[in-house]
Amino acid sequence: MTFWQCSKCGYQLKAEEPPEECPSCHEKCLFSDISCYIPECGGEGNIDPRLAGRQVNKD
């Protein structure tokens, strides 16, 4: 499973694919993969703290 974060509101979820519409803000947003792929943040199954909390598009 992959961790995804909404580009508008920052909502995070764990799913195989990102949803079409954000469950939190109900917008059609871009979702960023915030999964950890390196040992420093615990590897797969964790959120990468360098990516989490970053909002890509604040429009």
For residue range 8-55, what is the model confidence (pLDDT) as tens digits?
999 999 999 999 999 999 999 999 999 988 888 887 789 998 888 765
Residue 47 in domain: no
Number of separate domains in the chain: 1
Give pTM, 2 decimals: 0.79
Determine the pLDDT at residue 55: 53
Determine the pLDDT at residue 26: 97
Residue 55 in domain: no
Place of tokens 């694919």: 17
Q: In terms of DSSP H, where are the helices of 1-59?
A: none
Residue 13 in domain: yes
Dist CA 9 CA 36 (whole Å): 20
Determine the pLDDT at residue 58: 43
Q: Which helix or strand (DSSP H or E) is residue 5 part of?
A: strand 2-6
Dist CA 3 CA 31 (whole Å): 9
Residue 17 in domain: yes
Dist CA 40 CA 59 (whole Å): 32
Domain that holds residue 20: 2-41
Amino acid at 48: D
Residue 28 in domain: yes
